[in-house]
A and B are shown apart, each in its own frame.
Chain A
Amino acid sequence: MRTRRHILAAGGGGLATLAMPSLLRAQQVEVIEMRGTPRGERIWYNPIGLAITPGTILHFVNRDPVNSHTATAYHPELFDRPARIPDGAAPWNSDFLLPDESFEVTLEVPGVYDYYCLPHEMAGMVGRIVVSRPSDLGWHGVAQDTDDLPEAALRAFPTVEAILDQSRIDPEETR
């Protein structure tokens, strides 16, 4: 079975965008795969770090045949976690995706978005999206509160500088 769940993680401007005729706005799509080894020793998002422009659609898909995964934004509205997405951006949670299931979210607010996999955060399965650039109006940088995050998750985040420099970071490059 394949699901497609669409959520707009943006402020009011994003809602206005949704109402526009699709022909007026060609949206770019970036795929983020949820992957793992056959026995589950390692699990990861591929890419783990990604730089995008506002309005890009993120397409999360589970390519791990032995496990389920989520893409869940760090936000107090979701499991009372600390906010690690820009102010004004709506949090998202894909819920559990079984193998080959997918989920889409569109990010509009400039800044740094950190997210994690609900059952695998302790193992360091996290990802970071950078929307736009720090020089842009309304930019929100990396959240500084790290008290609630497992050490493995904190170690796994690529730096914003590296993401902006390379546009896309595959997990092998960070380990």
Chain B
Amino acid sequence: MTKAFALAAGLLAATALPALAHDEEALRQSPPPAPFIQVSDALPLPEFIPGLGTLFVDPATLPAGPFLAYDRDGNLSATVYMTPLEELANGISYDDLHVGAHNVSSVDIYYNAGHPGVEAPHAHVVLFHDDEARGRLAE
């Protein structure tokens, strides 16, 4: 039984990995494919937000995301999640969230009082995908 489970898991991994690699390549440059939309096209927010860059999101995944954060040259630089604090306190969890890229050099977590799209006070969880990403998203 254990052997069968391991085999099934191995097969799943073998089929999933190419798909993940394909997705990562597709998201590397802005704009990402549908269903992602540019946040500033749908909400009254700046096109480039200092600290977060140009954000794209699949509306079906709101509010948590992932939000894909691109620098001014269109390079995917971070994946961002936005989790309302009250929902977390009420027992809602956000599990198995996707990532824009698999390499993560550092993570920032901080409080945000709200903004159009995610009005409730929430946490920003920012996964930077390379060492220079933070600087490129800053301005």
Contact = CB atoms under 8 A, between A and B. Distances in A.
Given A39-B124, A66-B51, A119 B46 contact: no
B45 A120 contact: no
A19 B51 CA distance: 47
A156 B103 CA distance: 43
Given A39-B51, A39-B124, A122 B114 contact: yes
Interface stretch (A40-48, A71-79, A134-142): A40-48
Interface string B115-139: 1100111001000000000000000
Interface in B38-54: 44-46, 49-52
Given A39-B51, A122-B121, A66 B46 contact: yes
A96 interface: yes
A41 B46 CA distance: 17
B134 to A, nearest CB: 12
B119 A119 contact: yes
Contacts of B75: none
A99 B136 CA distance: 20
Which one of A41, A42, A68, A119 has the highest number of Cβ atoms from chain B below 10 Å of its Cβ? A119
Nearest to B122: A40
A40 B110 CA distance: 9
A41 B50 CA distance: 14
Interface in A41-98: 41-43, 65-68, 96, 98
A119 B112 contact: no
B94 interface: no
Contacts of B114: 40, 43, 119-120, 122-123
A72 to B, nearest CB: 13
Given A98-B44, A120-B119, A122-B121, A41 B113 contact: yes
Contact of A39 (B44, B110, B121): B110
Given A66-B49, A99-B46, 19 more contacts: A38-B50, A39-B110, A39-B112, A40-B112, A40-B114, A40-B124, A41-B110, A41-B113, A42-B113, A66-B51, A68-B116, A98-B44, A98-B45, A119-B115, A119-B116, A120-B113, A120-B114, A122-B119, A122-B120
